[in-house]
Structure 1
Amino acid sequence: MTLQQKLLAKKSKKGFTLVELVVVIAILAILAAIAIPMVVNIIQSATNSSGASNASTLSQQCKNVYAGVKSGTINNDESTNSDGTNIGWAAAKTSTASDKQTAANAVTVADVMTYSGLNFDISDDYYYCTTAATGVAVGDIAYSDTGSAPTTPANAAYAQLATTTTLGTIYP
């Protein structure tokens, strides 16, 4: 075999050495160690943002439904849920103010969600404000991903929100 043939034979060998593979794996491990915490933070931030947005929407819808039932604009005679089904939790349009107030107090968060077409789980992370403070009003709904009620603002107190919570509890 000539020298030229020997050189060509060496050049035609394919594959990676063990050192090259270890270096590539080490680089990938370093990149993963940097990227994984960033992705986790992005996911947590998106969850918090979505929860806060849902809380704000639900809070506004509860206020609107409470005021609508109390005034009679939301009533058993003409109003329907977002899916077109009739509601049975409001007073009749011609009811007395006292009957409308009683009906508004008895509306549940589940009724509001069905009426408004809201479809998200409020089982653990949603709270309503029971005492007013700077920046938050009685009845405002807040999201907390910590497993406990929000702690700010300092003068506000929060209670756990559930689908069975009535608007009369939220807006005393």
Structure 2
Amino acid sequence: LLTLRGHSSRLSSLAFPPDGNLILTGASDGTARLWDREGRELQLFDQHPAKVNVVAFAPDGQSIMIGYEDHQIKEWSLDGELRLSLVGHTGQVADLAFSPDGRYLLSCGWDETARIWDRRGYELWTLPISTSKVAYAPDGQHLLTIVDENKAARWMNIPRLLAATTEVFSLEALKDLGLAYAEQDVQEIRAW
């Protein structure tokens, strides 16, 4: 059992890099922290004035993204250097997901939008949907979201709704099998 001590308030998010050798945590104290597998703190990212809502590792494991309650998204190197700030959301950032090749970032927020960004910080598309969770499919060509009334929807990179199901509470893209599944309140799992 590993206990990570350092945040002064409730944890809101955690993430692992592809190799699984580090742990990234975000908390409502406005900080994100990088830990090794023994529980030693390696880096403190930004004492931000707003709560950290979500943290994510880039697929190459060399940088992280943090989404904040005050609408901001920031990219950091693992040694704590701020690389990029993304401006566009007008509500809290709810979730972040990288494309499998790391070239694009998908974000969603309380402003009822999902946004696709390139790694230079340019916003490529804004999808006008109310969503709290986003994921890239393993093929990198499709986006998965939870939309109004907890329905799962699959979007192509050119916004086009392809499919929907009923009440969904979590989404996962299963890289090894090339499937996405949605967990429903009736203990049912659907795969695409």
User: TM-score, normalising length from structure 2?
Assistant: 0.23
Q: From the two aligned structures, give the one with the greater helix fraction.
A: 1
Higher RCO (CA < 8 A, seq sep 6+): 1
Structure with max Cα Rg: 1
Higher strand share: 2
